[in-house]
C-alpha cells in the first residue's frame, strides 16, 4: 500500500502527532528552582538504572525546546504530546509556586501555538515531587489533594493554550511497576502498597478533573492508559477465566472506576481491603471524560496459575506461540493487538468516549550509518503495520481520533537508561545532535499527505 493510499484511509480531521515526557527529555534537573522527583532519587541509586544513567541532562530539551519544536513542525504533524513536570511547578509538591518552572511551559505553549501545533498536555508522567514521597507518595490520600491543587494552578495559568489535558500517563506503571514489580521509582515491592497507590491515583484523577474544570470548563479532559491487549494461552476454560481475571487486575482496576464508577466483582472479593476505599470516593473518581488515550506496544499471553498459594489474579504471562518477532527491548510484535484491546474496551464499557492512540512505537537501536542517515526500516515497518490496524479499527466503527508516535526522539528510557532507543529522531547524547531517521521521514510524508 502506498503512503497516499494509507493516508486516504483516515478522516481529514484525524490528528497526527509525536510524543515525549518531561523527565525523559528535559534535563536541567537542578535548574531554575526545580525540585527533585522520585526519578531523580531512583536513577541516582546504584544498580537501579542501566549503566547508572540519569535524567540530569537527558536530551537537554529544557534549553533546546525551540529547535525541538521546529523539528516537530518539520514532521508535518498537527500535535505534540508532552508532560508537565510537577516538581518544576511546585518544587516540594505543595506550597510555594516556582515561577521560573511555570515560565518554561508558558514559553513552550507559546512556541506550539506559533507553529500551529496542538498542545496535548499530560499533568503527570511519573515524576512525583520527592518531598511528597516522605509522607507516602501515591499510597497517601493527601497526594491526591496535592495533585488537584497542582492541576488547578496549571489549568489557571496555562489552560488557555492547552488543547487537551490528560491527568495521568499509564497509572499501571505508576502503581505496579513503582510499588509491586519495583523496577520503576520508588522501587517498592509490595502488593498492598501497589493496590493502595492504585486507588489514590484513581482518586487523584477524579479530583484533578474537578479542579481543572473549576478553572476552565472548555478543555477536553482525559486519561492515558496502557491497557493490556490480553490473549489467553489456550482455549481451556482455566486460561479463558485467567484472561478475564487478568483484565480486571490490570485494565479494569483503572477503567472500571474512571469510566463506570466501580471496581470489578472478582477484584473486590479479593482485594477490597487493600484498596482502602472511603465513602464518596467512587463518585469523585467517575468524572465524565471527553477522550481517553491508549498506549500500545505489544500484547500479553496469559495462562492460569494453578499454585494454590498465589495471590489474585492467579495468572502468569507466558511466551506467545504464534509470534517470534520482537523488538530490541524484547517486546512481541502483534499489530492486531491494538484493535483487539479497543474492540474489547468498547464492547465492555458503555459510553466510552473517543480515543487517541497516544503512544505507539518500537525500540530498535539502529545507529547513524557512514552516510549520516539512520536506516531504521524495522521501525518504519512497525509503524506502517500498526497505523494500518488503526485504519482497520476506525473502519470497524471504533472512534479513534488521532495517532501519536512514541517517541519524537531517543531519550531516557526509564530503568533502561539510554540503552534503548524509541525515537523517530536519533539523538547523539554526547553532542545532542538530532537526526531524523528513515521512520521519521516516512511519518512526515504520511502526515503531509493528510494536509494536501
Hey, how many other C-beta atoms are within 10 angstroms of the C-beta on 140? 17
pLDDT tens-digit series, residues 102-134: 999 999 999 999 999 999 999 999 999 999 999
Q: Please report the pLDDT score of residue 452 as a whole number.
A: 47
Is 433 catalytic? The answer is no
Question: Residue 136 is part of which domain span?
Answer: 3-450
Catalytic residue among 170, 188, 332, 413: 170
pLDDT (mean) for 365-385: 97
pLDDT at residue 323, as a whole number: 65
**What percentage of the chain reaches a pLDDT higher than 70?**
99
Q: Which tens digits make up the pLDDT trace of 185-201?
A: 999 999 999 999 999 99
> Helix, strand, or coil here: 357?
strand
Known catalytic membership, residue 359: yes
pLDDT at 1: 82
Burial classification of residue 82, based on how many CB atoms lie within 10 Å of its CB (0-12 exposed, 13-18 middle, 19 or more buried): buried
Q: Which of 140-144, 163-167, 426-430, 447-451 has the lowest mean pLDDT?
A: 447-451
User: Which residues contact residue 438 at a Cβ distance below 8 angstroms, ignoring those fewer than 6 apart?
Assistant: 373, 374, 375, 376, 377, 379, 380
- Asked if 291 and 354 count as a contact pair (C-beta separation under 8 A), the reply is yes
Q: What percent of the chain has pLDDT over 90?
A: 97
Per-residue model confidence (pLDDT) at position 65: 98
Query: Which stretches of 216-305 are DSSP H helices?
Result: 237-247, 253-255, 265-275, 281-285
Predicted local confidence at residue 324, as pLDDT: 72
Counting the structural domains of the chain, the total is: 1
Q: Which of 26, 188, 332, 359 is catalytic?
A: 359
From the CA atom positions of the chain, what is the Rg in Å? Answer: 21
Q: Which pLDDT band holds residue 451 (cuts at 50, 70, 90)? A: low
Distance CA 355, CA 390 (A): 11
Task: Tell me phi and psi for residue 213, to 5 degrees.
Answer: -70, -25
What is the average pLDDT across 206-227?
98
User: Tell me, what CATH number does 183's domain have?
Assistant: 3.20.20.80
Instruction: For Cα atoms 96, 149, 152, give the angle at the middle one, nearest 5 degrees.
Output: 110
Residue range 210-234: average pLDDT? 98
Q: What is the mean pLDDT of residues 143-160?
A: 98
CA atoms within 13 A on the CB side of 242: 24
| Strand residues in 290-399 grouped as ranges (E) | 292-296, 300-304, 315-318, 355-360
Q: What are the Cα distances from residue 338, in Å, to 94, 267, 335?
A: 38, 25, 6
Amino acid at each position: 500500500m502506498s503512503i497516499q493510499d494509507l493516508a486516504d484511509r483516515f478522516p481529514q480531521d484525524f490528528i497526527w502527532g509525536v510524543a515525549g515526557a518531561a523527565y525523559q527529555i528535559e534535563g536541567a534537573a537542578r535548574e531554575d528552582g526545580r525540585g527533585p522527583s522520585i526519578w531523580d532519587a531512583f536513577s541516582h541509586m546504584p544498580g537501579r538504572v542501566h549503566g547508572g544513567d540519569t535524567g540530569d541532562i537527558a536530551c537537554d530539551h529544557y534549553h533546546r525546546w525551540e529547535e525541538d519544536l521546529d523539528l516537530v513542525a518539520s514532521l508535518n504533524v498537527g500535535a505534540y504530546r508532552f508532560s508537565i513536570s510537577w516538581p518544576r511547578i511546585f518544587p516540594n509538591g505543595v506550597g510555594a509556586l516556582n515561577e521560573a518552572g511555570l515560565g518554561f511551559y508558558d514559553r513552550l505553549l507559546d512556541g506550539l501555538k506559533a507553529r500551529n501545533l496542538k498542545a496535548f498536555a499530560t499533568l503527570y508522567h511519573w515524576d512525583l515531587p520527592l518531598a511528597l514521597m516522605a509522607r507516602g507518595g501515591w499510597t497517601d490520600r493527601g497526594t491526591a489533594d496535592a495533585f488537584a491543587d497542582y492541576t488547578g494552578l496549571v489549568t489557571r495559568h496555562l489552560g488557555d493554550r492547552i488543547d487537551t489535558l490528560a491527568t495521568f500517563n499509564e497509572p499501571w506503571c505508576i502503581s505496579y511497576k513503582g510499588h509491586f514489580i519495583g523496577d520503576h521509582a520508588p522501587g517498592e515491592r509490595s502488593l498492598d502498597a501497589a493496590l493502595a497507590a492504585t486507588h489514590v491515583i484513581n482518586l487523584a484523577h477524579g479530583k484533578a478533573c474537578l479542579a481543572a474544570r473549576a478553572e476552565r470548563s472548555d478543555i477536553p479532559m482525559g486519561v492515558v492508559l496502557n491497557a493490556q491487549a490480553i490473549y489467553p494461552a489456550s482455549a481451556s476454560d482455566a486460561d479463558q477465566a485467567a484472561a478475564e481475571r487478568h483484565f480486571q487486575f490490570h485494565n479494569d482496576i483503572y477503567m472500571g472506576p474512571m469510566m463506570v464508577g466501580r471496581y470489578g466483582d472478582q477484584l473486590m472479593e479479593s482485594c477490597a481491603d487493600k484498596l482502602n476505599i472511603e465513602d464518596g470516593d467512587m463518585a469523585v473518581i467517575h468524572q465524565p471524560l471527553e477522550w481517553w488515550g491508549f498506549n500500545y506496544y505489544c500484547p500479553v499471553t496469559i495462562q492460569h496459575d494453578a499454585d494454590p498459594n498465589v495471590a489474585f489474579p492467579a495468572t502468569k504471562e507466558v511466551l506467545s506461540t504464534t509470534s517470534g518477532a520482537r523488538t530490541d527491548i524484547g517486546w512481541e510484535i502483534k499489530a492486531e493487538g491494538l484493535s483487539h484491546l479497543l474492540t474489547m474496551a468498547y464492547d465492555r464499557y458503555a459510553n466510552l468516549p473517543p480515543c487517541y492512540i497516544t503512544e505507539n512505537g518500537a525500540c530498535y537501536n539502529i545507529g547513524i550509518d557512514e552516510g549520516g542517515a539512520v536506516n531504521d526500516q524495522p521501525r518504519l515497518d512497525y509503524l506502517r503495520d500498526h497505523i494500518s490496524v488503526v485504519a482497520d479499527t476506525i473502519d470497524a466503527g471504533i472512534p479513534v481520533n488521532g495517532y501519536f508516535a512514541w517517541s519524537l526522539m531517543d531519550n531516557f528510557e526509564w530503568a533502561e537508561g539510554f540503552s534503548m532507543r524509541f525515537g523517530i529522531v536519533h539523538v547523539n547524547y554526547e553532542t545532542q545532535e538530532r537526526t531524523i531517521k528513515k521512520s521519521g521521514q516516512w511519518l512526515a510524508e504520511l502526515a503531509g499527505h493528510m494536509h494536501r
